[in-house]
Amino acid sequence: MLRFVGKKAKNLIRNSCVLQRLSPFPFQSSSAFLSTFNNNPSSSSDSNSLMAHNYSQSPVTLDTINPKIKKCQYAVRGEIVTLAQNLQQELLQKPGSHPFDEIIYCNIGNPHSLGQQPITFFREVLALCDHPAILDKSETQGLFSADSIERAFQILDQIPSRATGAYSHSQGIKGLRDTIAAGIEVRDGFPANPNDIFLTDGASPAVHMMMQLLISSESDGIFCPIPQYPLYSASIALHGGTLVRYYLDEATGWGLEVSELKNQLEKARSQGTNVRALVVINPGNPTGQVLSEENQREIVEFCKKEGLVLLADEVYQENVYVPDKQFHSFKKVARGMGYGEKDISLVSFQSVSKGYYGECGKRGGYMEVTGFSPEIREQIYKVASVNLCSNISGQILASLVMSPPKVGDESYESYFAEKDGILTSMARRAKTLEAALNSLEGVTCNRAEGAMYLFPCIQLPQKAIKAAEAAHTAPDAFYCHKLLNATGVVVVPGSGFGQVPGTWHFRCTILPQEDRIPAIVERLTKFHKEFMDEFRD
């Protein structure tokens, strides 16, 4: 009986829904999309039940809420995922009701939800820190590695009363910031100041903090790549600024051309937009490219010359899969060019959600803030203080990510084997999916150099585009919905990330476990052929 319950629980966990963000470039509203495509009778009756209530007298209506909320939208937890949830519920209630037996979520960078196991050393230290009473028990020596016990003692010594349930300093625990700064120094070869580190609940709150700082009105603009991660367009909308687009060049492997930056900056300024900052995502999301060091130097020079804050999203710094590319932080590049604190304003974002660790639910991350005056630093600290502090488990994990076991430590060999196993498997998965996508009619996919995604371009037949128009949705969303209904595979339309007008894409993660990749390839290949045959001009 216990074995049956355990198996049932595993199946439920495996099938649990994974959500993320709505599209920043919507073709239409979520409600319209769902009403067009949702054929779930139970959902329909639920909707009718809700509509039966009269909210006309409510003081809160769509006309009275903050318009910035309505403008803000995300893609990766959008309409397609809502539909996938409905299908998943139907599969649980009526097995065999669809031509697939499970939903495969390829829409989100959420590794553990797709079967990736946590790094043992990290979890051992977290467990010991959260329950320090077991550190003094004799049994602990046999259950935990010696270096995880030692690291837990070191961390707890930096926390008053060993209280991981207490608030910390608003920037994060000082000893953990010391560890992170030391890790940055090892990575870059240049000094790092723990007072420049702000520990946050993942990278997203850090991005919001910088948008709050930089945007004072709609005339303030933030330069963002297109395609982009929807966090940026959403946070710019929430804080009332203007998204200034620069387009990555798909033909050159999603290259970032400084000539494009210059043209778009001149255009924005001519329209009265005060462009305050440049967002660079490296490695790229959703595009997966890794910038060359030479290109990074050009970007640093551009920001310095134009007086822009450089916002460097570097959360995928561990995810590089090709031998001819290497990650370099923008701070390392800037310092290597001889630029110091007073030469360029730079904010670097890191997260424990990505890399080989994939600890999305722990909500750990940090930003390193350099090149700002003491007066501005006080304002950033004030914003951080409003939220009191980030969660302590995430803070601890961020310090572990930047200071993992070293050669000679008891956990080093097992740690390295886990890390290497995850990253080499990701590289194989990326290559397999890339090859499969490029084999499809009308599909081209650039090389997956890094991050966790592929962003293929689809040449959709005119008949399919007209069918999408009739369904009042974007053509790539139409394709993704058809794919979901036919295969149970969830991907995100490119219109949720932005794309060159007239082109269509989707984002697919490389994160399903390696033994699942052949099934995804098989389902996708069969569907695509049938789709193209159905809508062939």
pLDDT digits (tens, 9 = 90+) for 9-36: 444 334 433 333 333 333 333 334 444 4
Task: Report d(CA 318, CA 333) in Å as an integer.
Answer: 17
Tell whether the torsion through CA atoms of 250, 251, 254 and 259 is positive or negative: negative
Give the residue with greater pLDDT, 121 vs 2: 121
- Domain co-membership, 235 together with 313: yes
For residues 174 and 197, the answer to whether their CB atoms sit within 8 Å is no
Q: 289-316 pLDDT, tens per residue?
A: 999 999 999 999 999 999 999 999 999 9
Do the domain assignments include residue 323?
yes
Task: Report d(CA 372, CA 376) in Å as an integer.
Answer: 6
pLDDT at 76 exceeding the cut of 60:
no
Kind plus residue range of the DSSP H or E element containing 199:
strand 197-200
pLDDT at 49 exceeding the cut of 80:
no
Average the pLDDT over 425-440 and give the result.
Answer: 95
- Domain co-membership, 509 together with 382: no
**Candidate from 23-37, 420-434, 513-527 with smallest mean pLDDT:** 23-37
Strands 492-493 and 220-226: what pairing?
unpaired
- Domain co-membership, 334 together with 188: yes
Question: Residue 386, Cβ neighbours under 10 Å: how many?
Answer: 9
Average the pLDDT over 90-99 and give the result.
Answer: 81
Last-in-domain residue among 401, 430, 456: 401
- Domain co-membership, 474 together with 342: no
Q: What is the model's pLDDT at position 284?
A: 94
Tell me which amino acid residue 88 is.
Q
Last-in-domain residue among 345, 373, 401: 401
Q: What is the model's pLDDT at position 104?
A: 86
Task: Report d(CA 129, CA 148) in Å as an integer.
Answer: 10
Q: What is the model's pLDDT at position 302?
A: 96
For residues 78 and 477, the answer to whether their CB atoms sit within 8 Å is no
Do the domain assignments include residue 15?
yes
pLDDT at 75 exceeding the cut of 60:
no
- Domain co-membership, 375 together with 462: no
Task: Report d(CA 129, CA 40) in Å as an integer.
Answer: 46
Do the domain assignments include residue 114?
no
Do the domain assignments include residue 205?
yes
DSSP string, 271-311: TT-EEEEEEEESS-TTT-----HHHHHHHHHHHHHHT-EEE
pLDDT at 358 exceeding the cut of 50:
yes
For residues 493 and 23, the answer to whether their CB atoms sit within 8 Å is yes
Number of independent structural domains in the chain: 2
- Residue 68 pLDDT grade (very low, low, confident, very high; cuts 50, 70, 90): low
Extract the tokens encoding 337: 């060019």
- Domain co-membership, 269 together with 313: yes
Q: What is the model's pLDDT at position 529?
A: 94
pLDDT at 273 exceeding the cut of 90:
yes
Task: Report d(CA 200, CA 250) in Å as an integer.
Answer: 33
CATH for 294: 3.40.640.10
**Candidate from 44-48, 266-270, 324-328, 397-401 with smallest mean pLDDT:** 44-48
- Domain co-membership, 493 together with 392: no
- Domain co-membership, 445 together with 504: yes
Task: Report d(CA 276, CA 309) in Å as an integer.
Answer: 6
Count the alpha carbons within 13 Å of 48 in the hemisphere toward its beta carbon: 6
CATH for 438: 3.90.1150.10
Mean pLDDT of the chain, nearest integer = 85
For residues 125 and 362, the answer to whether their CB atoms sit within 8 Å is no
Do the domain assignments include residue 431?
yes
Average the pLDDT over 519-530 and give the result.
Answer: 93
Q: 486-509 pLDDT, tens per residue?
A: 998 999 999 888 888 889 999 999
Do the domain assignments include residue 488?
yes
- Domain co-membership, 340 together with 461: no
Q: What is the model's pLDDT at position 388?
A: 86
Q: 363-402 pLDDT, tens per residue?
A: 999 999 999 999 988 888 888 888 888 888 999 999 999 9
Task: Report d(CA 85, CA 5) in Å as an integer.
Answer: 23
Paired with 368 in beta bridges are 197, 348
Do the domain assignments include residue 155?
no
- Residue 536 pLDDT grade (very low, low, confident, very high; cuts 50, 70, 90): confident
Q: Write the burial class of residue 485 (CB in 10 Å: 0-12 exposed, 13-18 middle, 19+ buried).
A: middle
Structural domain of 517: 3-102+420-535
**Candidate from 49-58, 236-245, 260-269 with smallest mean pLDDT:** 49-58
- Domain co-membership, 379 together with 497: no
Average the pLDDT over 401-426 and give the result.
Answer: 95
**Candidate from 116-125, 139-148, 309-318, 329-338 with smallest mean pLDDT:** 139-148
Q: 142-196 pLDDT, tens per residue?
A: 889 999 999 999 999 988 887 888 888 788 999 999 999 999 999 999 999 999 9
Do the domain assignments include residue 331?
yes
pLDDT at 4 exceeding the cut of 60:
no
- Domain co-membership, 180 together with 233: yes
pLDDT at 219 exceeding the cut of 80:
yes
- Domain co-membership, 383 together with 439: no
Last-in-domain residue among 347, 374, 401: 401
